[in-house]
Amino acid sequence: MAIVHTASGATACSATGSTFQTESTSYHRQFVSVADGVRLEVLDWGGTGRPLVLLAGLGNTAHVFDSIAPELAGHFHVYGITRRGFGASSVPKNGYDADRLADDVMAVVKALDIDRPILAGHSIAGEELSAAGTRYQGKIAGLIYLDAAHEYAIYDQDRGAYHADLSHLSAQISRVHDHPTDKSQMTKLLNEVSVLQRSLGNELAGVAADDASTTGAPPSDPTPKQLASFPAFRCFVSAQLGGVIPEDEIRQTFATSATGGVGEQKTPAFVYNAILEGEERFHAPNVPILTIVPVPRASDLPVGSDEAKRQAADAMHTRMQEQEIATLQRQQPSAKIVRIPHGHHFIFLSNPAEVVSAMIKFGEQLP
């Protein structure tokens, strides 16, 4: 049974110490069965127009869109799905590979009789967009990648994708074990080793850039005071993300401690690992695509680090980002690219007005 819920609009502090106020958000909440023993939480913020389904990044739930959904509902009928393993959705032991997660999304679409929706996904949800767009092309009107068109969503064979390549190598090793004298399997194994070497080198370069950009920065762990209450922790998290995160999202992802503060994350570690291990090598789907990417400057990165290192790290990330955009445009020349200056990874929180505007324009141009 669907219920109506109103999300809190409590006041909290920003990164600069000033205050912000968010509007209360009303939505219908229900649970949809997508497999035996697996139910997913689905939020419906209402609205009219073409259906829009929002998919959260790794570690988040549909509630992370509580603040942006009402703005979108003025132009779309807006839904949000919490993937298996997170929040109030079921936590089965398996089913976390990209194709299965996409099947879950489309099972909800079918169950709720949602006609050719736009799917919009943040971060790791890009793999679900690509999987759904590839396997359910005729049932989807378009895809919106919210800083999500990374290697796990749009594969570039020249750069590779560490987790996906590692999984492919592991599978090929198993095949060689089963057929130890098969020269063709040996050749494929050698090729997979070469692919992984390349992607591992790129992965390490990215890690080094992240480390360089935060060298000397203050510790990022919350203090006991920040963990003492959900509003205080919301302030801490919002400062890290560059935008206001809904308090309901914090409460969905963290347990309440014995003293009423913020406890451990609710999602078990095996879920995160299974999703990473289930990454695949996707080609850009042949459907209308919009990708929205943040363009940070060195001054937007964490303070407290060496300026030259921060600028070098920012330049490296920019190069990597442009390579990803070039891959998408090469595979899908009609894809629309929107770059948003001074953005953060949680682009719909750091730059909500620009994101909403881009999504509306994209939706209006679809046939």
Instruction: Say if residue 251's pLDDT is above 90.
Output: yes
Q: For the chain, what percentages of helix, strand and coil (3-state, to nearest 5) are there? A: 45, 20, 35
Instruction: Say if residue 5's pLDDT is above 90.
Output: no
Name the amino acid, one letter, at 155. Y
Instruction: Say if residue 299's pLDDT is above 80.
Output: no
User: Which residues, other chains included, contact 74 with Cβ-Cβ below 8 Å and sequence gap of 6+?
Assistant: 47
The residue that leads in pLDDT, 310 or 367, is: 367
Structure tokens at 72: 């979108």
- Single pTM value for the model: 0.88
Q: How far is CA 357 from the centre of its chain?
A: 20
pLDDT on residue 24: 56
Q: What pLDDT digit, counting tens, does each position of 14-47 carry? A: 433 333 334 456 899 999 999 999 999 999 999 9
What distance, in Å, lies between the first and last C-alpha atoms of the chain?
Answer: 34
Distances (CA, A) of 27 to 48, 59, 80, 104, 172: 14, 21, 10, 21, 46
Q: What is the mean pLDDT of residues 221-242?
A: 91
Which DSSP symbol is given to 356? H
- Distance CA(149)–CA(125), nearest Å, equals 9
User: Which residues, other chains included, contact 259 with Cβ-Cβ below 8 Å and sequence gap of 6+?
Assistant: 228
pLDDT on residue 254: 96
Are 250 and 231 contacting, i.e. CB atoms less than 8 angstroms apart? no
**Out of 202-206, 260-264, 358-362, which region has the weakest mean confidence (pLDDT)?**
202-206
Are 244 and 352 contacting, i.e. CB atoms less than 8 angstroms apart? no
pLDDT on residue 317: 76
- Distance CA(194)–CA(140), nearest Å, equals 36
Helices (H), 214-337: 224-227, 230-241, 247-253, 269-277, 307-331
Instruction: Say if residue 192's pLDDT is above 90.
Output: no
Instruction: Say if residue 262's pLDDT is above 60.
Output: yes
Helices (H), 136-180: 162-178
Q: Is 252 exposed, middle or buried (0-12, 13-18, 19+ CB in 10 A)?
A: buried
Instruction: Say if residue 144's pLDDT is above 80.
Output: yes
Query: For all residues of the chain together, what is the average pLDDT?
Result: 87
- Distance CA(261)–CA(245), nearest Å, equals 17
Question: Considering only CA atoms, which of 106, 109, 159 is closest in space to residue 133?
Answer: 106
pLDDT on residue 342: 87
Q: What pLDDT digit, counting tens, does each position of 89-127 carry? A: 999 999 999 999 999 999 999 999 999 999 999 999 999
pLDDT on residue 307: 66
Instruction: Say if residue 365's pLDDT is above 70.
Output: yes
pLDDT on residue 44: 97
Domains of the chain: 3-158+214-365 (3.40.50.1820)
pLDDT on residue 66: 96
- Distance CA(141)–CA(115), nearest Å, equals 9
pLDDT on residue 170: 87
